[in-house]
Amino acid sequence: MINTKYDVVILGGGPAGLAAAIAIRTKTDASVLLVDRQHQGEVRVGENCPPETVLLLKQLGVAKEFYRGGHQTCPGYASVWGRDTPGYNDFIVNPQGPAWRLNRQAFDKMLADRAESCGAQISWSTRFIDAQKHSNEAEGFTLRLVRKSEDRECEVQARFVIDATGSTACFAGKLDINKSVDDELFATVRFSTLAQGRGSKQIQLEAVEHGWCYHSLLPAEKVVSMIVTEKKHLVSLRENEFQGFDDALQNTNLIGSSIAKLDLKESSYHTYCIRPGMLAAAEGSNWMAIGDAVASFDPIAAQGIYKGLSHGLQAGKKVMTWFENREQNNSNFSQQVKNQYGDYLRNRNHVYSLERRWSNAHFWLNRSSNNIDYSQLIKNES
């Protein structure tokens, strides 16, 4: 049952929104409602996260559950990138240990359980559709929501709103805050179950003429494989019910030979449009956008889950300050987002510039000549 008034409403129950719910409830007594249009347990993409993720999970109070959650370590990356032979990038000397290959459903459930046990209310299958800002700031916003089970609208008043709706940034859009988008990519993802065979625990990356491929074994005998490319190449991947995708992966060197050793069943295919970019404004006095809503990255960065959790923790700090003393709301979150996005762009451009084998192919040509004006992004960097 959704009440009519909350101190904080969080729109979106991905890693960012769930982390925000935990952080806010741990630091304050604010009443918190989190809504997500998906049902709980829906398949989500993104299962590889860096070693430092564990530090954030400790701050969220879920490290023990995480270690017991059946997630698997990843000793490093094997990549065919910029040359024909594999290179290796291991986590041996990382003080936080190895990276992780997540059981995403268990991971999401762990965060949702923690948020609820901290006192946040979660309403799944509930879509945010509109927002109205009140002129009196103390009244915050009136949000229009639709619950799938009831198929009718309800209105909720929120003193503070957190937009964690992912790259669509639905709430910011209603405030007419736009995202500057600097690329468009399409990821075709195949999730399968491993019937037989053994493979490396390393995550594998491989550049190809029209994009790049990713392959990883996951907990619970699952396997994920992905091809990231431009829109015009989707047609060939979808040919004969994704036989085109299977063939394209089979024709790669490193990943193709790994997949050939596996017997896969129950494959399902999903396509995602990825539009990396950053919102023109990350926050106002009584709202903020976090995770992919404020800044979404190319998946080559593999930082989306980490970024979401870390922004969720920062939302906890901002809301606490806001409730304690509204006059002193000197958050530096906006500047952090800009700095983070500048770092991401530099790294992403460096990674793409390493691949020169297909310098005439549109995918690589388009990305190596991507002259981004960093000065705009980082001009206030101290």
Ligand X SMILES: Cc1cc2nc3c(=O)[nH]c(=O)nc-3n(C[C@H](O)[C@H](O)[C@H](O)COP(=O)(O)OP(=O)(O)OC[C@H]3O[C@@H](n4cnc5c(N)ncnc54)[C@H](O)[C@@H]3O)c2cc1C
CB atoms within 10 A of CB 180: 12
- The footprint of ligand X on residues 180-239 (CB under 6 A) is 187, 189, 226
Instruction: Give the angle 93-99-100 at the CA atoms, nearest 5°.
Output: 155
Structure letter (DSSP) for residue 297: -
- Residue 164 touching ligand X (CB under 6 A): yes
Of the candidates 211, 277, 304, 316, which one interacts with ligand X according to CB under 6 A?
A: 304
User: What is the C-alpha separation between 27 and 22, in angstroms, rounded?
Assistant: 9
- Residue 122 touching ligand X (CB under 6 A): no
- Residue 127 touching ligand X (CB under 6 A): yes
- Residue 277 touching ligand X (CB under 6 A): no
Among 110, 373, 170, 375, which residue's Cα sits nearest to residue 291? 170
From the list 14-22, 246-254, 350-358, 359-367, the region that binds ligand X by CB under 6 A is: 14-22
Of the candidates 202, 204, 286, 303, which one interacts with ligand X according to CB under 6 A?
A: 303
Among 308, 295, 286, which residue's Cα sits nearest to residue 46? 308
Question: 317: which 2 tokens?
Answer: 């700090």
Shorter beta-carbon distance to ligand X: residue 106 or 357: 106
Shorter beta-carbon distance to ligand X: residue 166 or 277: 166
Furthest C-alpha separation in the chain: 64
Region of 75 on the Ramachandran plot (φ > 0 left; ψ -120 to 50 alpha; else beta): alpha
Of the candidates 60, 274, 295, 319, which one interacts with ligand X according to CB under 6 A?
A: 274
User: What is the C-alpha separation between 320 and 169, in angstroms, rounded?
Assistant: 23
Of the candidates 47, 183, 206, 246, which one interacts with ligand X according to CB under 6 A?
A: 47
Question: 18: which 2 tokens?
Answer: 């769930």
- Residue 78 touching ligand X (CB under 6 A): no
Of the candidates 112, 237, 305, 377, which one interacts with ligand X according to CB under 6 A?
A: 305
Of the candidates 24, 32, 46, 315, which one interacts with ligand X according to CB under 6 A?
A: 46
Q: Name the closest residue to ligand X (Cβ).
A: 304
User: What is the C-alpha separation between 19 and 107, in angstroms, rounded?
Assistant: 12
Q: Are 163 and 290 in contact, with CB atoms under 8 Å apart?
A: yes
Shorter beta-carbon distance to ligand X: residue 213 or 259: 213
* Residue count of the chain: 382
The CB-of-45 to ligand X minimum distance in angstroms stands at 4
- Residue 170 touching ligand X (CB under 6 A): yes
Q: Which residues bind ligand X (CB under 6 A)?
A: 11-17, 35-38, 45-49, 127-128, 164-166, 168, 170, 187, 189, 226, 272, 274, 291-293, 299, 302-306, 308
